[in-house]
Amino acid sequence: MGRTGADGVATVMVKAGEWGCMAMSGFGGKGGSKGDGEGPTAMLQKYLGVVKAFAQEEQQDEGSQSKYVVMGGPKFVKVDTTASVEFTALEADRTINVVITDVNGTPLQEHGFIEAELISSGLGSGFDSGGLGQPIDPNMPGMASIQVPAGKYNLRMMTPPGSDYSSGDATEVDVTNGDANATITLLQNDSTVSGTLKDEDGNTVTGIMAFVTATNKKGAFIPGDVNSSNGTFSMRVPSAGGELALGYFVDPSSGYFEQPVTDNTFTPVAGGTATRDIVMKRATTTVNFTVKDPDGNAVANAFVEADNRKSDRDSKIDTFFNHGEQTGADGTVTLRLPAGDYSFEAFLPPETLRSNKWLQPRSEKIALAKDDTKNVTLQFQKADVVLSGRVTKDGAGVEGAYVNAYSKNGEAIEISTDANGDYSVNIIGGEWHVGSRNDDGADAYVSTESVFDAGTDKTVTKDIVLTKDTDGLSSMVTSSFDTDNAKQVTVDGGALDGAKVSIPQDALDMDGQGDNVTLTIGTTVEVPSQLLDKPIGGVALDITAQDSSGQSLTSTNSSVAITIPVKETDLEAVGLTLADIGKKAVMSYYDEENGKWTPLEGSVTAVESGDTILVTGQSSHFTSFAVTAATDTTPPTTPTSQSATDVKTGGKVTVAWTNPTDSDFSKIRIYRSTTEGSVGDALTTISSTTTTSYDDTSLTNGTKYYYVVRALDTSGNESTNTTQVRRSMVHVLAPIQTPSLP
């Protein structure tokens, strides 16, 4: 550690290697021992932008109060001999006066750390934006005066391990136009959770610096000490906060990967004790990748990614793990990973794939055991099947419509239609999904996904029809403001009504001189669906910024908080719940350079608000953002008891069936053919999930008709049954035959 002098410069001696650096300018309040220059004795430990506060206050003499804060997470630098890192300090010219009470409104004389988060609910924003706040004044327990930059904040008190109380719901306070008062309510710790840190072999982990946490869906954060000598922990938690999820933070040099949230959950009971061991993940495997083109040549600058998420919704995984790096000039890269099951993929920009007529390498699924070293070759594929068609709206071709195709194996490609609404793109054989989306400035138009098997065909034609989306686009919001001020911009109306971007003071001041910037926020449906990432609700939040000279600002000085509303019905439609946010459903940004969705790093919080879930994450750049989940590629169960009956009313057959009971069953599609063994063409698609019959009219007597009834789910997957029911149009009812296709 080091302390800046009058010139604002500090020197820290370290060993050669890569280091994460953070600047902490003090947290205001009274404290600081005379003569020793150590500041408050509250110890703040930060690992990768995550804060832990031990409020170990002692009686201290009056000290000075900092007027500046440093926002933003750690900056990483490689050190050989010397290196420089620069931080920007912001003036904290607003005061929040805080009083601490219990749930009955009784003042509490508690010590701890008051955390101020820039309009965001829960762990992510406060930590990634620098952990603003300060310890409780030791001379006046239960009270605090916090210095912050102007803006809106959520306040929460982090109590020390062993405290009788823990944080409850966040308290929102607005100091945009001046100082303000706030009350923070704490919950009584009336339950206990204890356990041991284990490695993946079940051995106790000792001798490392770590701490455990318990968090809930509302963003409560309860820290607990770990005894490094024996790896055990025990912490008191509140029963009033509901279900808690355990996590841990650890010294990165230990070789373990931190997991802020895991699947290790429990519901505290007043007066009870829960025993929960925590399994820590460590980079115990090595994977050496070689990336080649279809002819076997090395591919430089391909992005190689490891991802533990699966498209099978029934599989249970811990908080997702996603990591990747680019290949060097020789087409190779090495990743160090925890043991586990992974999918490995490689990516290039979509325009590169189209121009070369390539597709991504086939995803490699590999189980890595401890101490494994694997050599993996990923080879881009020659795309020799031409997929083409026309995108229409109200019968007319649509220029510039976004077309996206992805396969059951993970390949994906995108393209826009030409002036006539035509598109043509190269793919490979196999099962594919293709669809189109179009923003016309005011409304959104979308298609259903067409699922097809290219088989051995070298040309496939799929025309696509767009219809108006009922939720529509949110009105675009443009806001110009001085970067010396904090800013929050909210979207109104449309599918993402209530989405917001919260920007800290100076986050967009790229030269430190202050400037006017223009932030534009809108929504778009012109984003891709991919095997592991499909935007829930089909809509993304699109964020752009420009400085006063009209130059695009794609990155920020510190993290901004992005909140996206997700309808519970949309989440349920893909078979997920609130508990899956941060695990199977993640906030992602679209990486245009590599043509892929990438999960945001750090913690993501989710808070219920009526029939909507507000999902908040942190980003230090602007692009398109969405809450994404793995694409469901599992077809629904086949409809049963299929029959076809001549009702003898002249040219009419009634087709009947029993609907499947799948939770995501959404439609019935009926096919008709006059040739036995051929499924034929789609006759009709029925959106009702309760309808069990259909009348086919205007038929010709003496003709044999064959019917196949298939089920569709909410993801557009179609059951694969081929068994036909036959009906000949005669005046005498004939027995039903049910031949199966070869």
> How many CB atoms are located within 10 Å of the residue 547 CB?
17
Is the torsion defined by CA of 152, 156, 158, 159 positive or negative?
positive
CA trace torsion 719, 724, 728, 731 (10° rounding): -70
Q: How many whole angstroms separate alpha carbon 252 and alpha carbon 258? A: 8
Q: Would you state the structure tokens that stand for residue 389, as one six-digit string?
A: 């068609």
Contact 671, 720 (CB under 8 A): no
Which residue matches tokens 């929040």? Answer: 96
Q: How many whole angstroms separate alpha carbon 575 and alpha carbon 588? A: 19
Contact 674, 704 (CB under 8 A): yes
Which residue matches tokens 């396969």? Answer: 407
SS3 234: strand
Contact 397, 416 (CB under 8 A): no
pLDDT of residue 294: 97
Low-confidence ranges of the chain (pLDDT < 70): 1, 17-18, 20, 22-78, 88, 118-131, 138, 217-220, 310-322, 511-514, 602-603, 728-742
What is the DSSP-derived secondary structure letter of residue 258?
P
pLDDT of residue 170: 83
> SS3 breakdown of the chain: % helix, strand, coil, rounded to 5?
5, 45, 50
Q: Would you state the structure tokens that stand for residue 245, as one six-digit string?
A: 């999820």
Q: How many whole angstroms separate alpha carbon 121 and alpha carbon 250? A: 23
pLDDT of residue 167: 83
Q: How many whole angstroms separate alpha carbon 521 and alpha carbon 478? A: 7
pLDDT of residue 731: 42
Q: Would you state the structure tokens that stand for residue 449, as one six-digit string?
A: 């996904």
pLDDT of residue 708: 94
Do the strands 540-546 and 516-524 form a parallel or antiparallel pair, or are they unpaired?
antiparallel
Q: How many whole angstroms separate alpha carbon 553 and alpha carbon 506? A: 13
Q: How many whole angstroms separate alpha carbon 668 and alpha carbon 686? A: 5
pLDDT of residue 122: 32
Q: How many whole angstroms separate alpha carbon 332 and alpha carbon 376? A: 10
What is the DSSP-derived secondary structure letter of residue 141?
T
pLDDT of residue 580: 84
Q: What does each C-alpha distance from 721 to 242, 485, 705 come to in angstroms?
A: 45, 61, 17
Q: How many whole angstroms separate alpha carbon 574 and alpha carbon 537? A: 9
Q: How many whole angstroms separate alpha carbon 495 and alpha carbon 542? A: 13
SS3 578: helix
Question: Could you tell me which residues come within 8 angstroms of residue 424 by beta carbon, excluding any fewer than 6 positions away?
Answer: 386, 387, 388, 415
Contact 504, 481 (CB under 8 A): no
Domains contained in the chain, CATH given: 17-185 (2.60.40.1120), 191-279 (2.60.40.1120), 282-382 (2.60.40.1120), 385-468 (2.60.40.1120), 477-629 (2.60.220), 640-728 (2.60.40.10)
Give this prediction's pTM: 0.60
Question: Could you tell me which residues come within 8 angstroms of residue 71 by beta carbon, excluding any fewer than 6 positions away?
Answer: 90, 129, 130, 132, 504, 505, 506, 507, 557, 558
pLDDT of residue 603: 60
Q: What does each C-alpha distance from 452 to 34, 107, 429, 467, 720 come to in angstroms?
A: 75, 65, 10, 21, 11
Q: What is the pLDDT of residues 171-196, one digit of tens each?
A: 889 988 889 999 999 999 999 999 99
Q: What is the pLDDT of residues 256-291, one digit of tens each?
A: 887 877 778 899 999 999 999 999 988 889 999 999
Q: How many whole angstroms separate alpha carbon 326 and alpha carbon 313? A: 29
Per-residue b or e along 445-461, where b marks 16 or more CB atoms closer than 10 Å to that residue's CB: bbbebbbbebeeeeebe
